Structure 1
Amino acid sequence: MDTKYDVVAIGNAIVDILADADDSFIAEEGMTKGSMQLMFSPEQADALYAKMKAGQEVSGGSAANTVAGVAALGGRAGFIGQVADDQLGQVFAHDIKATGVDYTTVTRAGEPSTARCLILVTPDGQRTMNTFLGASQFLPASALDEDMIRASKILYLEGYLWDPEEPRAAMKRAIEVAKDAGRWVAFTLSDVFCIERHGDDFRRMVDDGTIDILFANEKELLALCQTDDLEAALVRAHKEVGVLVVTRSEQGALAMYNDIRFDVPARAVDVVDTTGAGDLFAAGVLYGITNNVPLDRSMHIGAVCAAEIISHVGARPRADLKALIAEKIPA
């Protein structure tokens, strides 16, 4: 089958609500700065929302941000994720389609409501996320657009969605569909807490060759490989994964392919909000891989995309990414 898409992603369909906060508020609420914690009821989300400063709504979700970035770069992208039949669900669907991403997942009737992520942004640009997964955690295998998956060069999955049972089963089915069609599977570990809960699953997928492209930040890779030694972790993970991509915040990022290491520095930029930096880095790399761009250049594309995202509030690009790439990375 010919490929209609470069990347099709499955992930949480979330609307981000971002607001400024200081470190004392983070501490008073018992949060770990820079991390993500789950909220298990709409009441808990409403209580935190009531304490937040005035914010802004921006459609988000890790994998959704990534395919929005792929589309902004000129790639062909699709997204599969569950929203409820409510106002936030309409906001999410409108926003993802407006980026040029195909989105066909049928809305879910009734409770719970569409997922939301309450993001507190401190003056240093760090984001502390509080996520109510809502309808997104009820994505069933029956909601998968399997033709969309078969028609994509790469299926991209986010670790955040591995936690609930129903979407985990859906993603396992999606992997089967992609592999049967001869497609690549890319996976992002998302957060250390995901590895703490599902590390055995993730390690199994690495070891049996399910994952062709693995995205992680440095802490996540160390947790996955159960070591404090980055070099040992790189060797361990790359042994079974074709392409390994590791982000390292201000230290830039690195990738391993065919036992060759590629390092790229972080782009200098005034940091406003780090939300989505890793998502857009992945977008640049995936766009490059699916459009026959060498991996080292693909990493530089990812770095430019990440720098654009952290220069403003929100995890969707505001600048013309294609123009930025042409300016920042001459052919």
Structure 2
Amino acid sequence: MTQPRLDVLAIGNAIVDVIADASDEFLDQQDLDKGGMRLIDEAEAERLYGLMGAGREISGGSAGNTAAGIAALGVKAGFIGQVADDQLGQIYKHDIEAAGVDFIVPPSSEVDAATARCLILVTPDAQRTMNTFLGAAQELPAGAISDEAVADASILYLEGYLWDPPGPRAAMEKAIDAARAAGRKVAFTLSDTFCISRHRGDFVRLLDEGKIDVLFSNEEEAKALADKSDLDEAVEWIAPKVPLLVVTRSEKGAIAVEDGHRARVGAQPIKALVDTTGAGDLFAAGFLAGLAQERDLEACLKMGAIAAAEVIQHYGARPEEDLRALVAKKLA
């Protein structure tokens, strides 16, 4: 088997994040569920954007954030996601490539919608309320997935958010089959409980068919997938179905179960909680980077915790410190 060029290839929604401060009163006025995520159309995206305060724009999306975090850790990452050939699409391409990520599918003038964006409102308690127009991200075709590109990465990483539309779902299933045929690992993140509420059957099928090697989840997602009210019962239900299960628990740290061995890590200390955007994405980045470097389970968990702690101490889902140096220092 030839040595793959990339360590991790991520596939997900290519979304430009627009992040701005907001008050609880503003959320109430807009009838927004604090801390939640809702899907909006382009008209609502334009309306809400016009009411938001000054914001900062950065290429994002769950798997895109993870790919950028992996690159920041000195591990070779690629990303597949669809953007339109418009201003935001070009911003996305430039930004993610500047982060050191190989952007594999170019902006397209063939898609019908504009480049996706997520309007993120951050309240003083650091909760983020997301309003997402998925646009061109939902038009990723199966034809964009090259078997050779998938085989050229040691780990394929997929986000559950992209499972909704039939085209991207077919693209991800094609990528899974290509990875398995090439003997590569497949990692999958459940993304959100609302994804599970719509696609639980498909996600369980992927596990039962042995198509997933690493499953990422938070507490609520694990309980939703297992249809259990207790986390320990949920872990006991899921763990036998997947070689490696990783469950994040916010301030309680995270656990991982591999071949019956359970490892735990506490949350890293922080100076101040500013913005939880991207915490799970960067945890996955740290963990996958450790996995690509063939570190043990405890080290992978700690790398995830370090990356997550760094990103929640400032706005946005990209590390601002030298993440590679930070991890090296804290692992020493």
Q: Pick the TM interval, shorter chain.
A: over 0.9
In 1, Cα distance between equivalents of 2:137 and 2:76: 23
Cα-Cα RMSD: 1.0
Offset of residue 31 of structure 1: 2.2
Cross-structure match for 1:89:
89
The one-letter code of the counterpart of 2:308 is A
Corresponding residue SS for 2:241: coil
In 2, Cα distance between equivalents of 1:114 and 1:120: 19
The one-letter code of the counterpart of 1:18 is I
Cross-structure match for 1:296:
298
Cross-structure match for 1:121:
122
Cross-structure match for 1:312:
314
Offset of residue 311 of structure 1: 0.9
Offset of residue 24 of structure 1: 2.3
Cross-structure match for 2:285:
283
In 2, Cα distance between equivalents of 1:181 and 1:11: 21
Cross-structure match for 1:261:
262
The one-letter code of the counterpart of 1:28 is Q
Corresponding residue SS for 1:256: strand
The one-letter code of the counterpart of 2:310 is E
Whether the 8 Å contact between 2:90 and 2:107 is mirrored in structure 1 is no
Once the two structures are superposed, residues 122-171 of structure 1 have per-residue CA deviations (whole angstroms, 9 ceiling, x without a partner) of 11111111110000100001112332210111100000011111101111
Once the two structures are superposed, residues 243-273 of structure 1 have per-residue CA deviations (whole angstroms, 9 ceiling, x without a partner) of 1111111111111111111111111211111
Q: Report sequence identity in percent.
A: 56
In 2, Cα distance between equivalents of 1:243 and 1:14: 28
Corresponding residue SS for 1:125: coil
Cross-structure match for 2:78:
78
Whether the 8 Å contact between 1:106 and 1:143 is mirrored in structure 2 is no
Cross-structure match for 1:56:
56
In 2, Cα distance between equivalents of 1:252 and 1:185: 24
Offset of residue 216 of structure 1: 0.6
| Residue 234 (1) aligns with residue 239 (2) | no
Runs (4+) of structure 1 exceeding 3 A deviation are none
Corresponding residue SS for 1:316: coil
**TM-score with structure 2 setting the length:** 0.97
In 1, Cα distance between equivalents of 2:71 and 2:157: 14
In 2, Cα distance between equivalents of 1:326 and 1:154: 22
* Structure 1 residues without counterparts, runs of 5 or longer: none
Whether the 8 Å contact between 2:141 and 2:168 is mirrored in structure 1 is yes
Instruction: Tell which deviates more after alignment, 26-35 or 107-116.
Output: 26-35
Instruction: Tell which deviates more after alignment, 141-150 or 11-20.
Output: 141-150
Whether the 8 Å contact between 2:93 and 2:107 is mirrored in structure 1 is no
In 2, Cα distance between equivalents of 1:184 and 1:27: 44
**TM-score with structure 1 setting the length:** 0.97
Cross-structure match for 1:197:
198
Whether the 8 Å contact between 1:78 and 1:148 is mirrored in structure 2 is no
Whether the 8 Å contact between 1:88 and 1:114 is mirrored in structure 2 is yes
* Structure 2 residues without counterparts, runs of 5 or longer: none
Offset of residue 5 of structure 1: 1.0
Cross-structure match for 2:186:
185
The one-letter code of the counterpart of 1:329 is L
